[in-house]
């Protein structure tokens, strides 16, 4: 593999050494979390005893076919949905359980599948929104930080006064990620943010996201149905089963960082892809067959 | 000068002119050459316009007569009063219904029952309760404008993408912040659609109300001209109502575009 020498170090090793790349994100522990919709009636088990350990600053990708409960898990983490059993810990402290429903908050910010920048606010107003509403910063501080972040993420400060509709979808997504990072969240939750994009934009967005990850060192939970994307971006790719959703396979991605597109043809990458593909395809087939049965 | 030149080059402008010319030609032709009695009784456009611009109008109403402006002022005053009352009460009520589920359940059944009552059916009751025509006409105009405002505002709040609420919650917005940062701006496009409809409805009810219960106003003018069989004056009244309706809705559209500059589509810069 053609990589410059000295860069072939996995990020977590850097953390242990206490270098400049130390993680500032939180560690998340998801323990035997289940979610049952309509427990009195139809009893749809969306998640069944799902357990995931996420180290501080780790980039985790949850992969699986649609209907595997990955979005449910993200919604529970974000506080949009409740869990039926199990617990979630953040930095060793109980965050959510059955008796402790979770509220959404700036420590776990979501970037949405279809984008949720406020169209009636300019890019700058959107990015400043979190710290201002939490009264965590003064307007001047927030503006300074927002401009700085925008500028460092590919010169987005030049569109600071534009409205989101004036931006391409790729720029909108980047601004939304920056809006999330402004809050210095413990965990950044990305819900298939590049789903509707063409391959070229997607590749560009991957590099932008990796760069933002390198800069911020936040814990990231990234949801996708795209296996290649998951392996290319993440430290750990978690393959989920279809309903009831649970963890089928955990793949440690030992590809060095920074990740570059050429890695997609490396042997390690292809090996990982094969391993994961077995799991995903099996699940996709099961989901498909179940769909056919339900149709019949 | 430049504006005039640009207008001359604008295709749409000429199409619009052609539409008007065609309309007047058909009108003129049907009055003059179609041998049917109803068309014969219709005043032709030349007759109407010459009466409208006549310093000494045959039937007493033209742009040179003070009374004409009294009628316009009365009608405008009634319609705008009704409109602003509807705005002041309808928008907050619609937002409240969208904001609180409980309040929506409480109010929507009542609204659904009251709304189908035709506005003119309110007139007799309104005159008896409010003691006189003036307040009754305004009340009826207000009522129709109010329903349009409330229902569209409510629909506007309902149409907001739930992800905006979730995003606001993630970013630490309070319930009050959500009201001002998500609900009101998010509902604004529908609110303005509602206001356009409300203004139109107010003029509609106004003309009808003034025919029944007023001493001044364009509706009254039309009715009086009808009683005296002054057909050109009837058409002048109708055309004036049309112009006023157009101006008022243009103003609302302008204010709306001003408040919602974020909606104006600008070609995006590619990343």
Residues of B in contact with A130 (CB under 8 A): 170-172
Which domain CATH number covers B232?
1.10.3720.10
Is residue B172 within 8 angstroms of chain A, CB to CB? Answer: yes
Min Cα distance B183 → chain A (Å) is: 11
Task: Establish if B51 belongs to a structural domain.
Answer: no
Which domain CATH number covers A263?
3.40.50.300
Q: What is the pLDDT, as a whole number, of residue A295?
A: 63
Task: Establish if B19 belongs to a structural domain.
Answer: no
Task: Establish if B12 belongs to a structural domain.
Answer: no
How far is the C-alpha of A84 from the C-alpha of A49, rounded, in Å?
Answer: 10
Q: pLDDT confidence of A20, banded at 50, 70, 90?
A: very low
Q: What is the pLDDT, as a whole number, of residue B23?
A: 93
Residues spanned by the domain of A242: 11-96+218-295
Average pLDDT over residues B18-38: 89
Instruction: Say how far residue B210 (Cα) sits from the centre of its chain.
Output: 16
Task: Establish if A49 belongs to a structural domain.
Answer: yes
Task: Establish if A114 belongs to a structural domain.
Answer: no
Q: How far apart are the first and last CA of chain A?
A: 50
Question: Tell me: the pLDDT tens digits for A135-164?
Answer: 999 999 999 999 999 998 888 999 999 999
Residue pair A186/A25 in contact (Cβ under 8 Å)? The answer is yes
Task: Establish if B139 belongs to a structural domain.
Answer: yes
Min Cα distance A100 → chain B (Å) is: 18
**3-state SS record for B8-27:** HHCHHHHHHHHHHHHHHHHH
Q: What is the pLDDT, as a whole number, of residue A257?
A: 84
Task: Establish if A161 belongs to a structural domain.
Answer: no
CB-based burial label for B109 (10 Å; 0-12, 13-18, 19+): exposed
Task: Establish if A274 belongs to a structural domain.
Answer: yes
Residue pair A29/A60 in contact (Cβ under 8 Å)? The answer is no
Instruction: Give long-range contacts, CB 8 A cutoff, 24+ apart: A136-142.
Output: A136/A106, A136/A183, A142/A182
Task: Establish if A276 belongs to a structural domain.
Answer: yes
- The secondary structure element, H or E, covering residue B102 is helix B101-114
Name the residue of chain A whose CA is nearest to B178's CA: A133
Residue pair A201/A213 in contact (Cβ under 8 Å)? The answer is no
Is residue B155 within 8 angstroms of chain A, CB to CB? Answer: no
pLDDT tops 90 at residue A275: no
Subunit contact B177:A166, Cβ cutoff 8 A: no
Nearest by Cα to A24 from A214, A251, A221, A231: A214
Task: Establish if B179 belongs to a structural domain.
Answer: yes
Task: Establish if B186 belongs to a structural domain.
Answer: yes
Subunit contact A168:B271, Cβ cutoff 8 A: yes
Strand bridging mode A108-111 / A187-191 = parallel
Task: Establish if B250 belongs to a structural domain.
Answer: yes
| Overall number of domains in chain A | 1
Q: What is the pLDDT, as a whole number, of residue A5?
A: 40
Q: What is the pLDDT, as a whole number, of residue A75?
A: 92
Three-state secondary-structure class, residue B161:
coil
| Overall number of domains in chain B | 1
Residues spanned by the domain of B72: 66-258
Q: What is the pLDDT, as a whole number, of residue A197?
A: 85
How far is the C-alpha of B181 from the C-alpha of A182, rounded, in Å?
Answer: 18
Task: Establish if A27 belongs to a structural domain.
Answer: yes
Q: pLDDT confidence of A241, banded at 50, 70, 90?
A: confident
Q: pLDDT confidence of A23, banded at 50, 70, 90?
A: low
State the ipTM, two decimals: 0.86
Min Cα distance B182 → chain A (Å) is: 8
Question: Tell me: the pLDDT tens digits for A172-203?
Answer: 999 999 999 999 999 999 999 998 888 888 88
Residues from A in contact with B at Cβ < 8 Å: 78-80, 103-106, 108-110, 112, 114-122, 129-130, 133-134, 154, 159, 162-168, 170-171, 174, 179-180, 183, 201, 204
Q: What is the pLDDT, as a whole number, of residue B271?
A: 31
Residues of B in contact with A162 (CB under 8 A): 266, 269
Average pLDDT over residues A269-283: 81
């Amino acid at each position: 593999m053609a990589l410059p020498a000295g860069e072939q170090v996995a990020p977590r090793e850097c953390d242990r050494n206490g270098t400049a790349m130390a993680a500032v994100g939180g560690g998340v522990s998801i323990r035997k979390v289940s979610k049952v919709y309509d427990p009195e009636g139809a009893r749809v088990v969306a998640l069944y005893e799902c357990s995931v350990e996420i180290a501080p600053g780790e980039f985790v990708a949850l992969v699986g076919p649609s209907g595997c409960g990955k979005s449910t898990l993200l919604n529970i983490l974000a506080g949009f949905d409740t869990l039926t059993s199990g617990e979630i810990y953040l930095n060793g402290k109980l965050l959510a359980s059955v008796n402790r429903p979770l509220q959404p908050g700036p420590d776990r910010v979501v970037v949405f599948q279809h984008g949720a920048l406020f169209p009636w606010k300019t890019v700058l107003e959107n990015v400043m929104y979190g710290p201002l509403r939490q009264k965590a910063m003064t307007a001047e501080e927030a503006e300074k930080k927002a401009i700085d972040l925008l500028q460092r993420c590919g010169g987005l400060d030049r569109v600071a006064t534009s409205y989101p509709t004036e931006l391409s979808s790729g720029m909108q997504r980047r601004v939304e990620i920056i809006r999330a990072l402004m809050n210095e969240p413990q965990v950044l939750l990305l819900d298939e943010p590049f789903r509707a994009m063409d391959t070229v934009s997607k590749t560009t967005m991957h590099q932008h996201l990796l760069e933002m990850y390198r800069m911020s060192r936040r814990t990231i939970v990234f949801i996708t149905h795209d296996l290649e994307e998951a392996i290319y971006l993440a430290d750990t790719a978690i393959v989920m089963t279809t309903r009831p959703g649970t963890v089928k396979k955990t793949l440690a991605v030992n590809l060095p960082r920074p990740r570059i597109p050429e890695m997609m043809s490396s042997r390690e990458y292809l090996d990982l892809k094969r391993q994961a593909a077995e799991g995903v395809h099996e699940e996709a087939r099961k989901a498909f067959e179940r769909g056919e049965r339900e149709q019949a | 000068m430049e504006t005039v030149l640009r207008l001359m080059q604008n295709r749409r402008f000429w199409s619009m002119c052609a539409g008007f010319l065609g309309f007047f030609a058909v009108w003129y032709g049907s009055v003059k050459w179609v041998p049917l009695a109803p068309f014969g009784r219709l005043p032709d456009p030349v007759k109407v316009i010459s009466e409208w611009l006549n310093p000494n109008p045959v039937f007493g109403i033209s742009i040179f007569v003070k009374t004409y402006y009294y009628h316009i002022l009365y009608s405008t005053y009634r319609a705008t009063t009704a409109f602003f009352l509807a705005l002041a009460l309808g928008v907050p009520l619609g937002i409240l219904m969208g904001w609180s589920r409980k309040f929506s359940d409480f109010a929507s059944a009542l609204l659904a029952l009251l709304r189908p009552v035709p506005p003119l059916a309110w007139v007799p009751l309104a005159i008896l309760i409010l003691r006189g025509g003036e307040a009754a006409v305004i009340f009826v105009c207000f009522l129709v404008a109010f329903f349009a405002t409330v229902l569209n505002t409510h629909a506007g709040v309902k149409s907001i993408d739930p992800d905006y609420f979730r995003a606001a919650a993630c970013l630490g917005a309070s319930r009050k912040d959500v009201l001002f940062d998500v609900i009101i701006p998010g509902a604004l496009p529908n609110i303005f659609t509602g206001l356009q409809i409300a203004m139109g409805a107010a003029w509609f009810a106004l003309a009808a109300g003034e025919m029944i219960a007023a001493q001044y106003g364009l509706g009254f003018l039309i009715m009086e001209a009808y009683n005296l069989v002054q057909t050109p004056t009837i058409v002048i009244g109708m055309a004036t109502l049309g112009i006023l309706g157009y101006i008022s809705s243009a103003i609302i559209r302008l204010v709306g575009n001003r408040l919602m500059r974020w909606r104006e589509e600008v070609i995006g810069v590619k990343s």
